[in-house]
A and B are shown apart, each in its own frame.
Chain A
Amino acid sequence: MKDDVMWIAVAESSAIVRHGMLEILKHFPDTPHPVQLIEVTSLEALDNCMQTHVPDLLIVDPAFEGWFNIDNFKADPQSANVKCIALLCSMVDQNLLRKYDDSISLYDDEEAIYGKISQLFHAAREDEADTDALSQREREIITCVVKGMTNKEIAEKLYISIHTVITHRRNIARKLQIHSPAGLTIYAIVNNLVELSDVKM
């Protein structure tokens, strides 16, 4: 996901349906990733979108501009990783729907729609809240980062793998909403994890 933001493109020719979908997505509970929307009204615009701003998720009417060619879309290396949800405004052959990652019906409510999207991105929305506190290990890792140690040095010091260090750092960034070492430094000083004199300038 580019910059930790989830980009969702909505491709639908009906202005009423498209704007309705965008409106619902605007209120997507934005954990763990903030959502940014792209409004797509034609195949040519979709092509523009795929060349310049590949979304993480495409919500598309299978009847988009006549017929949306999901096979071609999935075969193109440019768009192969984009998840696709069919936006069903009419009856569609079940065999065709299998090629989509999921489908949304015109009568799905907001929660159903959010649920389907979250599930596609393995985002467990429910258990976000209670895991916000940092673990002891995560605090140790912040201290090391602030002192200017590399991931490799941290791994050696704490007897864990580099991969584990990276996972911890990702969790720290998610919990604190702080991604940069400079930001972590401020957090660490305020919370007395380190002294200013320990900090690598």
Chain B
Amino acid sequence: MDYKSAKFKPTDKMGDLINHDYKLLLVMSRFGLSLGFGDKTVEQVCRENGVDAPTFLAVANFIHEGNNLMEANLSQISIPQLMNYLKQAHSYFLDFCLPAIRQKLLAAIDCSIHNEIAFLILRFFDEYATEVRRHMEYEDMNVFTYVAALLDDQRESNYSISVFARRHNQIELKLTELKNIILKYYPEQGNNHLLNAVLFDIFSCEEDLSSHCKIEDFLFVPVVRQLEKKKGII
């Protein structure tokens, strides 16, 4: 990855953006942007796909800079588009990423009847996946519904985004724990290629979940608060 300190701009080439930080591939696909963008700029690719470029760049720059910048003015962000991005991310984790890790885990650990540890690790993973699902479904059903209603001027009585912000916790910690358990306690075996592969996936899923939660805390919550202020709720 090349060193790049300046923020990404609408006039940057999409290809350069991805080459600077390949994690942004995930951001692209969650915004519904696909590959094959040729030499087009961020602005062009976004416009052609009906994506709001400032919102895309706000997310891309937040992830790329990694400083957890709390901004005061987020008026450039489109709430419906950011919300859609978050929903897509949820579906990516629940319907693709976690099931894929489970598959690889199954292949990597010896699940024969004598291997108690393998059985417990799988159980641990399944419990964790259920927890993530609960966390994300709460957001889909309560938080996003509230915000959608707010955008339509149909506010439901006593909820506000601060309620969500205060109870919102990090969800990757248990995954960190699973990774540590495999690293420290999984009985040694001859070939570790499969196990390494699944560990790589867990590491990147962990990082991705963590940055996902931060986007909710540092972009989504503040921008919704801004909307609540504008509507005279707080």
Q: Which of A148-201 contact B (CB under 8 A)?
A: 177-180, 182-183, 185-187, 189-191, 196
The reply to whether A177 and B185 form a contact with Cβ atoms under 8 Å apart is: no
Using a Cβ cutoff of 8 Å, how many contacts connect chains A and B? 92
What CA separation (Å) do A190 and B120 show in the bound complex?
11
Chain A residues with CB under 8 Å of chain B are 2-5, 9, 22, 36-46, 48-49, 51-53, 177-180, 182-183, 185-187, 189-191, 196
Q: Which residues of B contact A (CB under 8 A)?
A: 67-73, 116-117, 120-121, 123-124, 127, 161-162, 165, 169-170, 173-174, 177-178, 180-181, 185, 187, 217-218, 221-222, 225
In the docked arrangement, what's the CA distance between A38 and B161, Å? 19
Choose one: B71, B116, B121, B218; the contact of A53 (CB below 8 Å). Answer: B218
Q: With a CB–CB cut-off of 8 A, which chain A residues contact B217?
A: 52-53
**Which of B70, B117, B124, B180 interacts with A49 by CB under 8 Å?**
B70
Chain A facing B: main interface SS: helix
Contact A187 B181 (CB under 8 A): yes
CA of A52 to CA of B174 in the docked complex: distance in angstroms? 23
Least Cβ–Cβ distance between A33 and chain B, in angstroms:
12
Known: A3-B169, A48-B225. A186 touches B72 (CB 8 A): no
Instruction: Considering the complex, give the chain A residue whose CB is closest to the CB of B182.
Output: A186
By beta carbon, the residue of chain B nearest A5 is B170
Q: Which residue among B123, B170, B185 has the maximum number of chain A CB atoms within 10 Å of its CB?
A: B185
Partner of B120, one of A3, A178, A186: A186
A38 touches B68 (CB 8 A): yes
B142 to nearest A CB, angstroms?
16
